[in-house]
Amino acid sequence: MDEQKVKLKIVGITAGHANKGYYTLLLKQFNSQSRLPIVIGQFEAQSIALEIEGIRSDRPMSHDLMVDIFKSLGGKLKEVFIRDVKEGVFFATLAFEQNEKILEIDARTSDAIAISVRENTPIFTTQKVMDKAGIILEEENNENEKETGKVKDEEKSPSFSDTVNSLNNEELNHELNQALENEDYLRAAIIRDELKKRSK
């Protein structure tokens, strides 16, 4: 008998990983304090942040291209399933519906989630995976998680945080354009958050 699936949602992305250039994608189990941290590369982190923050690139990213290809073939993404974790490596499956048939495609978890945020499809895992790799965070973190998928403050190094706070809106917009031109979407997302905060 298959184990019952556990539904997850994206909480945020943080840069506090020991290996430089890697990020931690944090997923939250619905109706639970359990979190599932997944280490992902910079490109995948930028791709996920780009879509979550509503930032559009001048050129389509690889994950945009994948979505367009599946759509052109008449496929529709139904779900992402993180089916296992072994020695810290997560294994995921993309479930596509095409011609009323479900096609299951193996994928890196980071790629699968980058595609899922573009298609607004659910992400699932199993309780076994949560027991093996999940963590429990205290209630005090809940306030920071109300905006699902937000690029968290941990993304800001102290120097960059100080710079953002000291810039006026015109300078921030210039920095935002520079970040977009350089395809540094995590930096762009942080600047976008600061501009949104000031407009309230």
- pLDDT tens digits, one per residue of 33-53: 889 999 998 889 888 988 888
How would DSSP label each residue in 128-159? HHHHHH-EE--GGGGGGGSSTTEEPGGGS-HH
Interval 134-148: pLDDT, tens: 988 665 444 444 444
**Mean pLDDT over the full length of the chain:** 80
pLDDT score of 153: 43
pLDDT score of 156: 41
- The CATH architecture annotation of domain 5-152 reads Roll (3.10)
Choose among 116, 178, 148, 121: nearest CA to 35: 148
Interval 66-123: pLDDT, tens: 888 888 888 889 999 999 999 889 999 999 998 889 999 999 999 999 999 999 999 9
Contact 48, 117 (CB under 8 A): yes
- The four Cα atoms 185, 14, 157, 55 give a dihedral, to 10 degrees, of 20
Q: Which two tokens stand for residue 78?
A: 């139904």
- pLDDT band at residue 31 under the 50/70/90 scheme: confident
Measured CA to CA, the distance from residue 157 to residue 170 in angstroms comes to 22
Q: Is 189 exposed, middle or buried (0-12, 13-18, 19+ CB in 10 A)?
A: buried
- pLDDT band at residue 2 under the 50/70/90 scheme: low
Angle in degrees, 0-180, between the axes of helices 185-199 and 169-181, rounded to the nearest 10: 160
Could you tell me the residue ranges of all domains in the chain?
A: 5-152, 156-200
Average the pLDDT over 19-29 and give the result. Answer: 83
